[in-house]
Amino acid sequence: MNSASKKIGLITTTSLVVGNMIGAGIFLLPATLASYGSISLLGWVFTAIGSIILAKIFSNLSKIIVNKSGGPYTYSREGFGDFIGFLVAWGYWISIWISNAAIVIAVIGALSFFFPILESNSLAAVCTGLVLIWFFTWLNSKGVRASGKIQVITTILKILPLVFIIFLGVFFFRLENFPVFNLTGESDFATFPVVAALTLYAFLGIESASIPAENIKSPEKTVPKATMLGTIISTSIYILGTFILFGILPTDTLQNSSAPFAEAGEIIGGAYAGYFVAAGAAISGIGALNGWILILAQIPMAAAKDNIFPRIFKRENKKGAPILGLIIGSLLTSLVMLMNYSEGLVKQFTFMVNLTVLTCLVPYLFVSAAYILILIDRKTHINSVVKTFVLGFLGFLYSLWAIYGSRAEVVFYGFLLLLLGIPFYSLIQWNKSKRK
């Protein structure tokens, strides 16, 4: 058990949620959404509503299951038992070390704005990526408080450029720049699920505060507050930022921009403002990498403490950090990142990144269902039985819709990835029974 002096408070925990949700992707996503038209704003709103429902479920569960790390794994296991808990931990853990590689690549892309050699020289890019991964692995080995301090700083620095664009961009907003509702030529009904799916990745991370609960001061109060605050802050920035960009940059310019916020910054405040925003994109990715490396080791550690993951994952150093979990996770992240720089594996890498969304949606699905089961079992109902059922059912439906909206190929291989964990689980159970 960590002493109170090693635990983090509300500001740091909220920064973990915001920092993990807002990565480098938001600095590029408006350009992708512009190709679909202003219907993409409805995609943001729909995904935001679904994510706030899920955030409320995580928030309520953190008041019931107190001072226990693991978030989606812990809640799923509480509702459905060891096997489902293992599958959630397994899929979620894999999704993190794969998506961490994607974050590193996005950071390298952002840094190439300042250091063009990173775009033309694969060796320089790989070395930079490895330095980033292992620097933050080392930092997280110093404990949650050390990582948390960096998270607060990077979260502030990533939000500042976005707030700068949102507030000052109002004075440069031109209605004639705003894209028409639907630019695709397809029906609104067919286009809406596509844009909603595109925005979904930006909301992964709402559960971040619940995962290191044992390292948080007064988790029964701090975790629910941080979860809701972080989700609302991130949602507001996503929707307002996209809306303002739609009015500042002409649609053709926005669609073809590799740094839309930076281009908007140049219009508002000249070249230096553009550099300021571009730096924010790099810092945003760096902060997300720091936060997700912290989470990367927390999930298997929570499962290992319950004897459904190998025991090595619960080994902690003097600072209370799950050191072997950090090293194993970062080795896998490094391997996946290196795959991206092998021409023959680029396509496979892109596909694997798509799987991360699915392997996060499955935990959301189980947590929503577990929410109802846990509250019935404990006879604890937040406000009322009806509200409990409605909230859990809406979270379940939203997660199911999001899984359905994923490509059939991604769904198939995503579930195959989860099923591959079954032999691993069987081996752990056999080992456990042998020790007895």
Q: What is the pTM of this model?
A: 0.89
Instruction: Give the angle subtended at the CA of 320 by the CAs of 318 and 321, to the nearest 5°.
Output: 105
In this predicted model, what pLDDT tens digit does every residue of 291-303 receive, in sequence order?
A: 999 999 999 999 9
Q: Do the Cβ atoms of 136 and 293 come closer than 8 Å? A: yes
Task: Report H helices in 306-345.
Answer: 323-340
What is the structure's pLDDT at 349? Answer: 52
Mean pLDDT for the chain overall: 87
Low-confidence ranges of the chain (pLDDT < 70): 1-5, 342-355, 379-383, 435-436
pLDDT of residue 248: 95
Domain boundaries, the chain: 8-363+410-435
Fold of the domain built from segment(s) 8-363+410-435: Amino acid/polyamine transporter I (1.20.1740)
Q: Quick one: pLDDT at residue 352?
A: 62
317: left (phi over 0), alpha (psi -120 to 50) or beta: beta
Q: What is the pLDDT of residues 270-299, one digit of tens each?
A: 989 989 998 988 899 999 999 999 999 999
DSSP string, 220-289: HHHHHHHHHHHHHHHHHHHHHHHHHHHHHS-HHHHHT-SSHHHHHHHHHH-HHHHHHHHHHHHHHHHHHH
The per-residue pLDDT for 1 is 44
φ/ψ of residue 141, rounded to 5 = -70, -15
Report the pLDDT value the prediction gives residue 342, as an integer from 0 to 100.
64
Q: Give the C-alpha separation, 41 to 172, whole Å.
A: 19
Nearest CA-CA partner of 106 in 25, 161, 30: 25
Q: Are 99 and 354 spatial neighbours (Cβ–Cβ below 8 Å)? A: no
Pick the closest to residue 82 from 325, 421, 334, 350 (CA basis). 421
Provide Rg for the chain, Cα atoms.
21
How many other C-beta atoms are found inside a 10 Å radius of the C-beta of residue 215? 24
CA distance 266 to 340: 32
pLDDT confidence of residue 3? 55
Q: What is the pLDDT of residue 425?
A: 86
Q: Which of 43, 61, 52 is nearest to 366 (CA)?
A: 61
Residue 140: per-residue pLDDT = 94
Could you give the dihedral angle defined by the CA atoms of residues 312, 314, 316 and 320, in that order, rounded to the nearest 10 degrees? 160
Tokens representing residue 231 in the block: 């989700």
Alpha helices in 65-140 (DSSP H): 72-80, 82-111, 117-120, 122-140
Q: Which residues of 388-421 are buried (b: 16+ CB within 10 A; e: fewer)?
A: beebbebbbebbeebbebbeeebbebbbebbeeb
pLDDT tens per residue, range 211-228? 999 999 999 999 999 999
